[in-house]
Amino acid sequence: MTSRAETFATVKAQIEPFNAKGVDLTEATSFVGDLEWDSLTIMDFVAEIEDAFDVVITMNMQAEIETVGQLVDAVEKLKD
């Protein structure tokens, strides 16, 4: 099993192609507020994360995930 830091690094790498503004990514980075993603971008990104970690992120989970750190926590929970 990978560590949380490795999960964060992978999530960060997955965000980079979608990071049009070049925002410095931290655990507190907001997908809508800081990265200014619309719903289509979020859906595309979620598909990338699901493929990268072989997990399924439900619509209910997506609605609760607002920051990079929350996404990392959700992926860690789903991998268990």
pLDDT digits (tens, 9 = 90+) for 28-53: 999 999 999 999 999 999 999 999 99
Cβ atoms within 10 A of the Cβ of 6, count? 11
- For residue 46, CA distances in Å to 6, 50, 52, 73 come to 18, 6, 10, 14
| Domains within the chain, CATH numbers bracketed | 4-79 (1.10.1200.10)
Contact 31, 49 (CB under 8 A): no
Question: Which of the four pLDDT bands, split at 50, 70 and 90, describes residue 1?
Answer: very low
What residues contact 19, with CB distance under 8 A and at least 6 apart? 25, 35
Helix/strand/coil for 30: strand
Q: What is the pTM of this model?
A: 0.92
